[in-house]
Amino acid sequence: MGMMRLSKCLVSLLFLVALSGFSHGFVMSPRTLLNRFSQNSNYYLTTEEHWFDQTLDHYSPYDHRQFKQRYYEFLDYFQVPDGPIFLKICGESSCNGISNDYLGVLAKKFGAAVVSLEHRYYGKSSPFKSHTTENLKYLSSKQALFDLAVFRQWYQESLNLKRNKTGAENSWFVFGISYSGALSAWFRLKFPHLTCGSLASSGVVLAVYNYTDFDKQVGESAGPECKAVLQEITELVDRSLESNRKELKKQFGAAELEIDGDFLYFLADAAVIAFQYGNPDALCTPLVEAKKAGEDLVAVYAKYVKDFYVGTFGVSVETYNQNHLKNTAVNEGSSDRLWWFQVCTEVAYFQVAPSNDSVRSSKINTKYIAKVYSE
């Protein structure tokens, strides 16, 4: 019966992998969507915090420093003693609980326990009181993978102690989305003996330096008519920056973005969000109608940015400000600095403009990106 249940579980997970093959990509403020949904108390299965003593440097046999790493557990559906354990990997933002999503449905169906480990440095799991560049040297996906392995072993042993068993092994499955999806896939490859399977939903496993295909996908998703309007707006904005910089930025509610590249990245991401999270009509319908009516396209786009991207979606303009990224304080806003550090040192995914037919401004290039990281 145990093997039959496990086989059915694997089939269901493979089906979910097939369903989850659409692209998520990355935006500058990865925690925004999570924060917006998490304001709903029904969003979480649990928000009760637990703590685990984690090794700071898994690659040094001499460094024995540890830090407190936050995790969550949900056992309401767990079929003791041999139910599976679902390890949900938290990614590049504060992990405030175990979300009540498809994983809860699967846990109930298969009698699984659900545990979730916060990524090192993010949220309340920072090893240091300041995020100086020197202190960030232990922030990497490689260290994070070992965090997961050590936690998995510790948690399994804790269960065994509670049941007065020795050497018992439950079936472990790891789950992740986007960056944490990549961690899920890499974990399965690096530690195949610690898990029976991995669900890497939109897992970005291939690091790309000049990620021009990101902009190309935006244009394809927009369709010819909306794409053409977006390109026209980009051209108008580029020209206006040369003669009317301050008023233009004020029009978009982004006067604090003194660096033009920051401002243009902000406008580019505003368009991306409409397609990335399934709201193309919120962007394209008013723009196409404005084009047909001969209205001011920049004004219409500015309204969309302020009302939808900042207002409804909840993005903070500050996250695009390079001065904000220099802030080394450990707080909720630290996620931006931390993720940019990881992008710079490991995964890249630089969402730069293609050499031709670009939707975003051509000024969003590797020269601009390099300046962000050199500051």
Residue with the two structure tokens 């699984």: 112
Per-residue tokens: 141: 């996906």
Per-residue tokens: 139: 């922030």
| List of the chain residues with pLDDT < 50 | 1-39
**Looking at the whole model, is its pTM more than 0.85?**
yes
Q: What 8-state DSSP symbol labels residue 349? A: E
Helix, strand, coil percent values for the chain (each to nearest 5): 50, 15, 35
Instruction: Quickly count: other Cβ atoms within 10 Å of residue 225's Cβ.
Output: 13
Q: Show Cβ contacts of residue 244 under 8 Å, excluding neighbours closer than 6 positions.
A: none
pLDDT computed for residue 179 by the predictor: 95
Round to whole Å and give the CA distance between 154 and 87.
Answer: 13
pLDDT computed for residue 295 by the predictor: 98
Give kind and range of the element (H or E) at residue 18. helix 2-19
pLDDT computed for residue 30 by the predictor: 41
Task: Please check whether residue 55 is in contact with residue 150, taking contact to mean a CB–CB distance below 8 angstroms.
Answer: yes
pLDDT computed for residue 40 by the predictor: 56
Q: Show Cβ contacts of residue 123 under 8 Å, excluding neighbours closer than 6 positions.
A: 70, 90, 93, 94, 95, 96, 332
pLDDT computed for residue 177 by the predictor: 95
pLDDT computed for residue 373 by the predictor: 65
Q: Does domain 44-203 have CATH number 3.40.50.1820?
A: yes
Q: Render pLDDT for 312-340 as a digit per residue (tens, 0 to 9).
A: 999 999 999 998 989 999 986 679 999 99
Q: Report the amino acid identity of residue 337.
A: R
Round to whole Å and give the CA distance between 255 and 313.
Answer: 19
CA dihedral sign of residues 23, 26, 29, 35: positive
Beta bridge partners of 86: 114, 173
DSSP string, 240-297: HHHH-HHHHHHHTT-TT--SHHHHHHHHHHHHHHHHHTT-HHHHHHHHHHHHHHT--H
Can you give the residue ranges of every domain in the chain?
44-203, 212-372
- Using DSSP, state whether 312 is helix, strand or coil: helix
pLDDT computed for residue 338 by the predictor: 95
Tell which residue, 120, 88, 358, has the closest CA to residue 228. 358
